[in-house]
Amino acid sequence: MGNQEYGNMTKGKRAEFGTKLGVLATTVGSAVGLGNIWRFPYEVGTHGGGAFLLCYFVFVFLIGVPLMCSEFAMGRGTRSNIFGAYRKLAPGGHWQIAGYLAIIAAVLILSFYSVVAGWTVEYFFQSVSGSLNLDSQQAYHNKFDEFSTGSFRPIFWTIAFLAANVVILLRGVSNGIEKMSNLLMPILFLILIAFCVNSLFLPGAAEGIKFLFMPDFSKITGTVLLGALGQAFFSLSLGMGCMMTYSSYFKDDTNLVRSSFTIAALDSLVAIMAGIIIFPAVFSFGGEPAAGPTLVFEVLPTIFHRMPFGAVWSSLFFFLLFLASLTSTISVSEIVIAFLIEEKKMSRRKATWFMMSVVILFGALCSLSFGPFKGFTIAGLTVFNLFDFVSSNILLPLGGFILAIFTGWKLNSGYMRDQLTNNGRLRGREFGFIMTCVKFICPAAILLVFLNCIGIL
């Protein structure tokens, strides 16, 4: 979403997404990113496979979809960002605290996300230059280790990635980027299918598929539940008003409930495909599923290496992943920038640079926490892991909790019904189910997972 829309908003005119496809393409563009292809497999791997996947699915459909409906209802109803939405619907209340949590979450997410996006750029160039041509899983592991623990190169690429964001955020060429990504995302989808087929034919693939899909219920612990909850929020771009902002540009006749289901289904599908690509390969090549944030970057090149025209596949893939990351970070940046412009009265230019200076600093810290700062940990987590954990597993679910209480209990139910049924024009058969989730299941589940994790339950 570029500055054109925000520019229009301040002048009192607002752009709207013209088509149904436009609505889907932009929201799915925000949802699909490193969260699906990098974070999902690494979370599944560290949290025991199928058990995590099961919890994740339950959370996506019982918490994610209803809360996405809530965000959509608030955004389209008020035509505002997260601060304005809470303010318009409950003037003078303390609900705007959700907005401040969102800003903190956004800055933390941008910081670690950009490091990983920087890795994709490095791997794109390595693929193009043909230097990703090694002969063993161990060699790929060593290569990535050497790169990511370095000081200069990973920070350089992090900053380069952020610079690409600045160009888009300042010039508002996002229209072009969005058109390009709308065109290229289906291609990403297609090549993921090709990679899935390839992985399924690897020797020993069944082991990986079993790991991914066979839940071992004894593995479901508080940490697994919290991880799955955080991943559901992160992957669906929920809990910090991102979907809310997008929906403020929806038309009055957009079907909010159906859009939420479709976005959640497509997003989960991409994540599952990433799992089907990664885990057979991990088991087939004798890797370690619990390798953590570096998992995908060690395994994927090994897969590409064994495919015919590997370098071509690999360049294409890392380029598309870079684009997918870009459409996601733009959506996160807009939350912070809109806040600085509208609440702090900064110019767009000043807001962008101010935010970026903070993110570059934090991003550099995240990057260095793989190398020189590896030993510096808080509660056993490196800076990178801490940012990831605090934003996804704490701040986003907390934002979701506030949202659930607000839309389920504070707003009168007529508001939600009007929004979710387009003022009665839709039959709204799902309305009762969605509101039961928003009112009872979401707050209760989030609270229980939190309490369980801090050991109270």
Binding site for ligand TRP (CB under 6 A): 30-31, 33-36, 109, 234-235, 237, 240, 242, 328, 331-332, 396
Residue 378, phi then psi, degrees to nearest 5: -120, 125
Helix (H) or strand (E) holding 248: none
Quick one: which of 15, 446, 8, 4 has its CA closest to 239? 446
At closest approach, how far in Å is the CB of 60 from ligand TRP?
A: 12
Can you say whether the dihedral through the CA atoms of 381, 226, 231, 166 is positive or negative? negative
At closest approach, how far in Å is the CB of 25 from ligand TRP?
A: 15
Closer by beta carbon to ligand TRP, 46 or else 237: 237
Residues 6+ apart with CB under 8 A from 357: none
Closer by beta carbon to ligand TRP, 50 or else 399: 399
At closest approach, how far in Å is the CB of 308 from ligand TRP?
A: 30
Burial of 224 from C-beta contacts in 10 A (0-12 / 13-18 / 19+): buried
At closest approach, how far in Å is the CB of 366 from ligand TRP?
A: 15
Residues 6+ apart with CB under 8 A from 56: 44, 228, 231, 232
Quick one: which of 77, 73, 70, 60 has its CA closest to 438? 70
Give the number of other Cβ atoms within 10 Å of residue 431's Cβ. 17
Closer by beta carbon to ligand TRP, 283 or else 389: 389
Closer by beta carbon to ligand TRP, 81 or else 331: 331
At closest approach, how far in Å is the CB of 243 from ligand TRP?
A: 8
Closer by beta carbon to ligand TRP, 37 or else 311: 37
At closest approach, how far in Å is the CB of 233 from ligand TRP?
A: 6
- Report the amino acid identity of residue 202: L
Tokens 């599944």 belong to 44
Report how far residue 128's alpha carbon sits from residue 109's, in angstroms, rounded to the nearest whole number: 28
Closer by beta carbon to ligand TRP, 112 or else 140: 112
Angle formed by the axes of helices 137-148 and 152-171, to 10°? Answer: 70
At closest approach, how far in Å is the CB of 310 from ligand TRP?
A: 25
Closer by beta carbon to ligand TRP, 34 or else 74: 34
Closer by beta carbon to ligand TRP, 98 or else 311: 98
At closest approach, how far in Å is the CB of 1 from ligand TRP?
A: 11
At closest approach, how far in Å is the CB of 137 from ligand TRP?
A: 26
Residues 6+ apart with CB under 8 A from 302: 137, 140, 281, 285, 287
Residues 6+ apart with CB under 8 A from 457: 448, 451
And the tokens for 129?
């230059």
User: In sequence order, which ranges of 236-308 are alpha helices (DSSP H)?
Assistant: 242-247, 256-284, 295-305
Closer by beta carbon to ligand TRP, 205 or else 232: 232
At closest approach, how far in Å is the CB of 424 from ligand TRP?
A: 31
Closer by beta carbon to ligand TRP, 35 or else 289: 35
Tokens 């039959």 belong to 427
